[in-house]
């Protein structure tokens, strides 16, 4: 549970970075790629601990981020 809390904190920070209007495009791109990896990691953690609701939520988010990349 602590790992999930830490992952959610990282996700929140990355989302805030992605919506920062003052960032250069390359910085935003890097943040989106890192966010995609973090969502993928959260999905894997959820799967391994049988939190299917979180895993199901991560699937479409990961897809949207893949499209943005």
pTM of the model: 0.82
Question: Taking 70 as the threshold, does the pLDDT of residue 2 lie above it?
Answer: no
Q: What is the pLDDT of residues 31-61, one digit of tens each?
A: 999 999 999 988 998 899 899 999 999 999 9
Residue 3 pLDDT class (50, 70, 90 cuts): confident
Mean pLDDT rounded to a whole number for the chain: 88
pLDDT, residue 36, reads: 94
Return the pLDDT at 43: 92
H helices of the chain, where? 2-18, 25-48, 52-68
Cβ-contact 22, 12 below 8 angstroms: no
Q: Is 38 exposed, middle or buried (0-12, 13-18, 19+ CB in 10 A)?
A: buried
């Amino acid at each position: 549970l602590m790992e999930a809390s830490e992952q959610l904190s990282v996700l929140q920070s990355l989302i805030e970075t992605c919506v920062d209007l003052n960032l250069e495009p390359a910085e935003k791109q890097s943040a989106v790629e890192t966010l995609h990896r973090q969502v993928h990691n959260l999905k894997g953690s959820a799967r391994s601990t049988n939190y299917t609701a979180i895993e199901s939520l991560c699937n479409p988010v990961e897809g949207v981020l893949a499209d943005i990349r």
